[in-house]
Amino acid sequence: MHNTPQSWDIFCAVVDNFGDIGICWRLSRQLVAEHGLAVRLWVDDLASFQRLCQDVNPLLARQQLAGVDIWLWHNDVDWPAIQPAQVVVEALACTIPLAYQQQMAAAQRKPVWVNLEYLSAESWVEDCHGMASPQPQLALTKYFFFPGFSERTGTLLREKSLLPVLNAFQHDEQAQHQFWQQLGISNALSFERRISLFAYSHSQLASLLACWQHGSGSTLCLIPIGTLAEQVQQLLPGLTVGQNAKFGALTVKILPFLPQTDYDLLLSACDINFVRGEDSIIRAQWAGKPFIWQIYRQEEQAHLLKLRAFLQRYTADWPEALTDAIDNFHNAWNADLSLTVAWQRLDAVLIEVHAKNLLWRNNLESLGDLASNLVRFVEKKIII
């Protein structure tokens, strides 16, 4: 008997603007497109969602895009009388409404309740992945599902078509030229290095921009519109949104927020990618290019432990000099330290880092993808 539950509810509370909804939107689309499931995505911030997907109408309480039913999650008090899905995904530390939990408990066949956790490379994740958590107030069990970097986790989100598309793009100079033309940059391929800069504001950003301005080679820097772009505009007077502006050896362009598929191509087209949070760090690894991760800050510097765990796993088989260059820049970038020397060391090894990243990507690919692993995990929990 077919054991795959056909209806899924995914709950997403938008915390840092884009990372949470980025993950949930990719997962929802993949479950529909590759696994034939009926997915209802509950989102509490449709305006942020619209930045990633222009077709989202933030004024509609219900709409369907890419086969996904999108519902506005706006009021836990007046929760509608609905039939819970067969699988309920509580994504990225959100808390689903109590009224919905009660509907789950009242269902004749209890849904499989999955807490999709944040990405981490810490070793304890492997021990907690798949763990059951009986709920004391309700006759329900919640299961913890951790993305990660080993076969003992749920691994990373990756659509079946992603790597073939990126590989073809990276070997097609005409396709890259057309992509840059669409962004309004006709001479992108003439620069010595192309950099995408997606980050939170940074107190030492001026030192990094100065490296690129006064460097010996030409640099093209692409920055999505937002807080960091505003900071760059203060540091580089005369920079306006949508216009290419030259400052010494550095050319800067502030881009509108790109749809997710175009952002994947941007990461693939650049020589190094600065990324932040969770969704973009995952996509940077699939791009195979050198990347710098600005991890989401937590209290008591807990994020630095998380970063250290990732770097140790990521560079485990690297030569010491290469590891030191990557560690040094990540530490400076995430601790708001001066970036001048750290950049010089990193820039000198980018070609070697690129080669290592392709091997890292191959290893991640061998672990499967999160959506498929999640579907298999849920199937084992369904009682026929």
Residue 132: beta bridge partners?
Answer: 143
Task: Give me the mean pLDDT over the 202-211 stretch.
Answer: 93
Give the percent of the chain with pLDDT over 90: 78
**Same fold flag, 7-157+368-381 and 162-365:** yes
pLDDT of residue 4: 62
pLDDT of residue 125: 95
Give 5 or 115, the one with higher predicted confidence. Answer: 115
pLDDT in tens, 90-115: 999 899 999 999 999 999 899 999 99
pLDDT in tens, 252-265: 999 988 989 999 99
What average pLDDT does the chain have? 92
Give 6 or 223, the one with higher predicted confidence. Answer: 223
Of 84, 90, 121, residue with least CA distance to 102: 84
Give the percent of the chain with pLDDT over 70: 96
Residue by residue, what is the 3-state secondary structure of 191-230?
CCEEEEECCCCCCCHHHHHHHHHCCCCCEEEEEECCHHHH
pLDDT of residue 1: 36
pLDDT in tens, 353-365: 999 999 999 999 9
Beta strands in the chain (DSSP E): 7-12, 38-43, 62-65, 68-72, 87-91, 112-116, 132-134, 141-145, 193-197, 219-224, 245-247, 250-255, 272-276, 291-294
| 91-100, 193-202, 300-309, 333-342: segment of lowest average pLDDT | 300-309
- 3-class secondary-structure state, position 383: coil
Domain 7-157+368-381 has CATH 3.30.70: no
pTM greater than 0.75: yes
CATH placement of domain 162-365: 3.40.50.2000
The residue ranges of every structural domain in the chain are 7-157+368-381, 162-365
| 8-22, 78-92, 183-197: segment of lowest average pLDDT | 8-22
Q: Is 278 a catalytic residue?
A: yes
The one catalytic residue in 9, 117, 264, 278 is 278
